[in-house]
Amino acid sequence: KAGVTQTPRYLIKTRGQQVTLSCSPISGHRSVSWYQQTPGQGLQFLFEYFSETQRNKGNFPGRFSGRQFSNSRSEMNVSTLELGDSALYLCASSTGTVTDTQYFGPGTRLTVL
């Protein structure tokens, strides 16, 4: 079974631009969560989508948004990029049951110049 895939793996943007990251979950998984990893803050939860609806949300500004499609693929968008948005963005998928294990993708490394 293929794992969680994230595209692109690396991305360089400049301040003020916007960016869209994509996550394809494991086949059959209906939940996708997004996390931001930075050296200073560690891994922080952004949001979780289940069956095309945002089910959980972390404490990030509205510039960070996401969506999920009917095939469970998810996209994350960051508008008006800031230098501090430079991070590794990880997505994780699971079946959607609250006790089910999350499987992480390799991440997208975003650099904001």
* Contacts to another protein by CB under 8 A: 4, 31, 33, 35, 41-45, 48, 55-56, 58, 90, 92, 94, 98-107
Minimum distance of another protein from residue 102's CB (angstroms): 6
Q: Is the peptide bond before 8 cis (omega within 30 degrees of 0)?
A: yes
Considering beta carbons, is residue 78 or 94 the nearer one to another protein? Answer: 94
Report the nearest approach of another protein to the CB of residue 42 (Å): 4
The sign of the torsion formed by the CA atoms of 53, 56, 58, 59 equals positive
Residues in CB range of 61: below 8 A, 6 or more apart: none
Q: Between 75 and 103, name the residue whose CB sits nearer to another protein.
A: 103
Q: Choose between 4 and 76: whose C-beta lies nearer to another protein.
A: 4
d(CA 94, CA 76): 17
Residue (8 or 16) nearer to another protein, CB: 8
- Minimum Å distance from CB 45 to another protein? 5
